[in-house]
Structure 1
Amino acid sequence: MKLKPAVLAIALTGVLGASASAWAADVIKIGEINSYKAQPVFLDAYKRGMTLALDEINGAGGVNGKKLEVITRDDNANPGDAVRLADELLSREGVDLIAGSFLSHVGLALADYAQQRKVFYLGTEPLTDKIVWENGNRYTYRMRTSTYMQTAMLAAEAAKLKKKKWALIYPNYEFGQSSVATFKKLLKQAQPDVEFVIEQAPPLGKVDAGSVVQAVADAKPDAIFNTLFGPDLAKFVREGNTRGLFKSVQVVSMLTGEPEYLDPLRAETPDGWIVSGYPQDSLETPEHKAFRAAYVAKFNDYPRLGAVVGYSAIKSLAAGIKKAGGTDTEKLIAAFKGLKVDTPFGEIVYRPQDNQSTMGAYIGKLKNTGDKGIMVDYHYVDGATVQPSDEEVKKMRGDK
C-alpha cells in the first residue's frame, strides 16, 4: 500500500507502536489524549515511557494474541478540544478505549465524556481528587498518585516541623485549589494552633514571581506550602533566592523533586526544601533498576517521572485487557477492580472503592550539589496508606 506523503506523516507522528500490523484486525487501539504542546517537559518523557512499554508488550506477543496500538491526539490544554478529540478517536479511528490527560480540568472533562458515552477511560496523570471522588464514575479509573495522596504525605512532614504561621502558594486552577484546601484541613487536624497568614494564587503559567515573593515576605510566615510547578516554579525560586526569602523560611513543595521541574533549577536549587518527587539517579530497587536500564538503552537518556507514568499506564491497560479477555467496556470495568500491576515503583492496585490506584510517591529533601539539585533522605510512601476512610470515600462518590 502506497501512502501519500501527508497521510504518511500523520501515521508516523500520531501513532505509537505502529507497524504493518497496525492496520490489521488483530490490533487493540488505545486513544490517548494529552497536552503535549502545552506541557512538553513532562509529556515528551511520558510518550517515551509509553513507547518502551509498547515495545516490551508487543515484542512478547501482545495481549491475548493482539498487538497494542496507541493513537495520540493533542488537546491544546483545552477541555473542549479534549472531548472533541475523544469523539473523533471513537468514531473515526475506532479506538477501543481512551486514556491520558495531564491537566486536572481536562481530565474531569474526559471523565464526564466517558460516562456519557459509556466508554472506559484511564486518567493517567490528572491529579484532581474529583475525578475519582465527587465527580467519579464507574467508567473512569485514575493511575497517578492523586492530589490528596501527595498532600497527605507532605502534610505529615509539615506537621513534624511544628511551624505555626504558614504561607500558601499555588496555581489558581483545580489542582492548586484542591491541594491547598486539603493541606489546610490535614495540617489543622494535626496541629490545631496553625495559622495560614497569606495565600498567593497566580494563574497557571502567568506568575508574577516578584509580587508573590514580596507579598509572602511581608506576611512573615514561618513556613511555606507551595504547589507551583514548571516555569512558574523556576521563576518563584529565582525571585525567592534573589530576595533571600528561603534563608529563614522552611518550604514544603509538591512535585518539585520530579526531574522535570528540578533539573531546570540547576545551581539555583534551594537547599532543604521538603518535596515529593522521583530520585531517578539514586533509586536502587530491582524494579526501578530494570526500568531505568531499559529506558537508557533505548533513548540514551535518563527517565523523568513522566516516563514512569507513561510506562505504567500502558502496563496497566495491558494487564486490565488481559484480565478482561478483551476490550468490552463492562468487562474492563470489572477487571480493573482490584487489578494488580507491576510498575517501576513496585506493585500497585486499583482500589475497588474509588477506582484509584495505590501508586505512591517519594518524599525527601532537596540538596544543591553546586551545579544541580538532587533528592536526598527520601523514602517511598505507599499510596494505600494515605487515603480517606472507605466511609468518607463512599459519601463523596455517592452511589457512583
Structure 2
Amino acid sequence: MRRCILRLFPWALLCAEVFFPGFGWAQESPSIKIGTLFQMAGSGAEYGRHGSQGAMMAEKEINERGGILGRRLEVFVAHEGIPTVAVDKVLRYILEEGVDFLVGVDSSSVASAVSAVAKQHRKIILFTHARADQLTGWACHRYAFRIAPNAIMDARAAALVMKDRPAKRWYGIVAGSEYGRGAWESFQATLRKVRPDVEFVGELWPRRFTADYTSIIQAVMEAKPDGVLSTLWGQELVTFVRQALPLGFFERVKFFVNPGGASLGVLGPLGDEMPAGLWVSAGYWFAYPDSVENRVFVKAYRVFYGEYPADVALASYSAVHLLKRVIEEVGSLDTERIVERLEGITYRDPEGVKTIRREDHQVVKDVVWGRTTRSTRHPFRILDDLVVIPGDELVRSVEETGCRT
C-alpha cells in the first residue's frame, strides 16, 4: 500500500512512497502507524478529502513536536470504496503495513464491515463520520469507538429544534440505509413525544446514488407537508437540492430539515445554489464555538489547505490527537490498556469538552443546528440562528442501545 500525502492541489490526492527524515528518531524504534479509510472518490469525496486532511494535519503537528513516545507517527490514507473493498484494505493495513490503529470511515455500511475485521484482529478503531446507530449499539464491541454523533442523536436534536415551529404535517425523504432508517424512526418518535399533535403524512426511500429525484420531489409537494425530514447526504443531497430548486420545492415546503446538511462537504459544492432558510446540522461547525482553541484550529487548517475545515476534518484531527494522548498516558501500545483508558475518557478538542461513554464507546457531545443564510465573507451558505443541543439530552440509555461490550 502506498503512502498517501495530501498537497494543496484542488481535488487531488497525490500518493507516493515518501520518507520523512524525522527529528532525531531512535533508529531502533519503529514508527507508530495509523491506517485511515475515507471516501476519496464518488459521492462522498468531499468528506474523504476533509477527513484525510484533518488526519494528515494532526500527523504533521505531532511529528514536529517529537512524535509519540519519541517515535515518528505515520498516517496512511486509503479510499474505502464499497464494504468488500474496504475489508480488503483494512486487512492489508493490518497484515502487510502493520498498522497499530484504524481511524475514519464515512459510509455506515463500510463501517459495519470494517468494524467486524477490527474486532477479529483486536485493532482499535475510532469512527469519525459513519452515523449508523448499530456501531455503538447492538453491533458494538470492545475495540470500536465513535467520536462523532450517531444518527439517533442528530435526529433527536432535529425534533427538539422543530418542536415549537409551526409545522404539523411531516414527510420523510429517507436514504436507503441503516443510517437513514435509524434517523427517521428517531425523529418521528421524539417529535411525537414533544409534539403530540404532529402528523406524518408519508415517506419515500430513494436508493443510494439516485440520479433523478424529480418523481420524489413531485410526490412530496403533492402531499403538501409543512416540513420534510431528509437524511440525504453528500453528493446525493447536492443533486436533490439542484433538482428541487427549479420546481419551487423550497418555496412550497416551509421547513426542510437535514441532519448533516451543514457539512462543508455539502455547502461547499453548492455554494450560492444552496437555498437560505433550510434547517441543517453538522458534526462540527467551524464558527462554533468562538473560542481561542477553535479559532487557532481553523486558522491553522486554512493555512495548511486554503479552506475552512469540515466536520469530518475536525473529527479525524481529534482522533489522531486523542490516540497520541492515550498512548502517552499508558506509556505503550498495549491494546487492552489503551481500550481501558479510552473507555469513559473526557477529552478536549477545538470544539470543546467531550466524553466517550464507557458502556457503548459512543461520544457524548453537543449537536449544532442552524438555518442556512447568505454570507458576504464566505463562498458558501453559513449557519444563522444557531441552536445547540447538549449531548446528554440526545444519547440513548445504554439499555436502549443494546450494546454489550
**Structure 2 length-normalised TM:** 0.89
CA distance in 1, matches of 2:367, 2:332: 31
Aligned match of 2:308 in 297, 302, 312?
A: 302
- For the pair 1:319 / 2:325, whether they are aligned, the reply is yes
Deviation at 1:207, TM superposition (A): 4.3
Q: Kindly indicate whether residue 392 of structure 2 is the aligned counterpart of residue 384 of structure 1.
A: yes
Query: Quick check: 1:136–1:354 contact (8 Å CA) kept in 2?
Result: yes
Structure 1 CA distance for aligned equivalents of residues 290 and 256 of structure 2: 27
* 1:251 lines up with 2:256 in the alignment: yes
Are the structure 2 counterparts of residues 300 and 209 from structure 1 closer, same or farther at C-alpha, using a change threshold of 3 Å?
Answer: same
| CA positional deviation for 1:327 | 1.9
The CA deviation string for residues 225-274 of structure 1, in whole angstroms up to 9 with x for no partner, is 11112222223223332222222421111111122211322232222221
Contact 1:16–1:70 (CA under 8 A) maintained in structure 2: no
SS of the aligned residue for 1:136 comes to coil
- Does structure 2 conserve the Cα–Cα contact (< 8 Å) formed by 1:315 and 1:341? no
In structure 2, what is the equivalent of residue 194 of structure 1? 198
Give 1:291 deviation, angstroms: 0.2
Query: CA–CA distance in 2 between the matches of 1:40 and 1:358?
Result: 27
Instruction: Provide the residue aligned with 2:181 in structure 1.
Output: 177
1:191 deviates by 2.2
* Equivalent AA in structure 2 for residue 192 of structure 1: P
3-state DSSP of counterpart to 1:160? coil
2:58/2:320 contact within 8 Å kept: yes
Q: Is the 8 A contact 2:39 2:47 kept in 1?
A: no
For residue 384 of structure 1, report the CA deviation from its aligned partner. Answer: 3.0
Partners in 1 of 2:206 and 2:4 — Cα distance?
Answer: 39
Structure 1 equivalent of residue 349 of structure 2: 343
Residues 43, 17 of structure 1: CA spacing in aligned structure 2 closer, same or farther, 3 A cutoff? farther
Please state if 1:40 is matched with 2:45: yes
Query: Helix, strand or coil: the match of 1:362?
Result: strand
Q: Which structure has greater helix proportion?
A: 1
Cα distance in 2 between the residues matched to 1:339 and 1:356: 11
**Structure 2 residue ranges without an equivalent (≥5):** 6-13
In structure 1, the partner of 2:149 is 145
- Give secondary structure in 2 for the equivalent of 1:66: coil
Q: Secondary structure at the match of 2:260?
A: strand
State how far apart, in whole Å, the 2-side matches of 1:10 and 1:298 are: 19
How much has 1:101 moved relative to structure 2? Answer: 1.0
Residue 361 (structure 1) aligns with: 367
Deviations along 1:65-118, one digit per CA (max 9) or x if unpaired, are 222211222221x11121222111111111112222110011111111122222
Deviation, structure 1 residue 337: 1.0
Q: Mean alpha-carbon deviation: is it higher for 139-148 or for 12-21? A: 12-21
Residues 95/369 of structure 1: CA separation in 2 closer, same or farther (3 Å cut): closer
User: Cα–Cα, structure 1 residues 201 and 352, in superposed 2: closer, same or farther, change >3 Å?
Assistant: same
More moved, 200-209 vs 151-160: 200-209
Q: Could you say which residue in structure 2 is the equivalent of 1:3?
A: none
RMSD (Å) for aligned C-alpha atoms: 2.4
**Structure 1 range deviating more: 273-282 or 313-322:** 273-282
Residue by residue over 1:121-143, the C-alpha shift from the partner in whole angstroms, topping out at 9 and shown as x without a partner, is 21221111100111111111111
Alignment length, in residue pairs? 389
Alignment of 1:255-334 (within 5 A): 255-277=260-282, 278-280=284-286, 284-334=290-340
- Long gaps (5+) in structure 1: 1-6
Shift of residue 282, structure 1, vs aligned partner: 7.1
TM-score (norm 1): 0.90
Q: Indicate how the Cα distance of structure 1 residues 155 and 42 shifts in structure 2: closer, same or farther if over 3 A, else same.
A: same
C-alpha distance in 1, partners of 2:18/2:149? 26
CA distance in 2, matches of 1:184, 1:109: 28
CA–CA separation in structure 2 for the residues paired with 1:187 and 1:378: 19
Distance 1:346 1:220 in 2: 40
Task: Give me the whole-angstrom Cα distance separating, in 2, the residues matched to 1:126 and 1:285.
Answer: 27
> Matches of 2:225 and 2:29 in 1, distance apart?
62
Q: Report the equivalent of 1:4.
A: none
Name the stretch that deviates more: 328-337 or 262-271: 262-271
The residue that corresponds to 1:19 in the other structure is: 20
Q: 1:24 to 1:299 in 2, by over 3 A?
A: farther
Contact persistence 1:29–1:94 (CA under 8 A): yes
> 1:197-237: per-residue Cα shift (whole Å, max 9, x none)?
12121112214221111000111111111111222222322
**Secondary structure at the residue paired with 1:257?**
coil
Secondary structure of 2:364 counterpart: coil
| 3-state SS of paired residue (1:255) | coil
8 Å contact from structure 2 (residues 38, 51) kept in 1: no
Letter in 2 for 1:154: A
CA distance in 1: counterparts of 2:356 and 2:288, whole angstroms: 28
Shift of 1:147: 0.9
SS in 2 for 1:275: strand
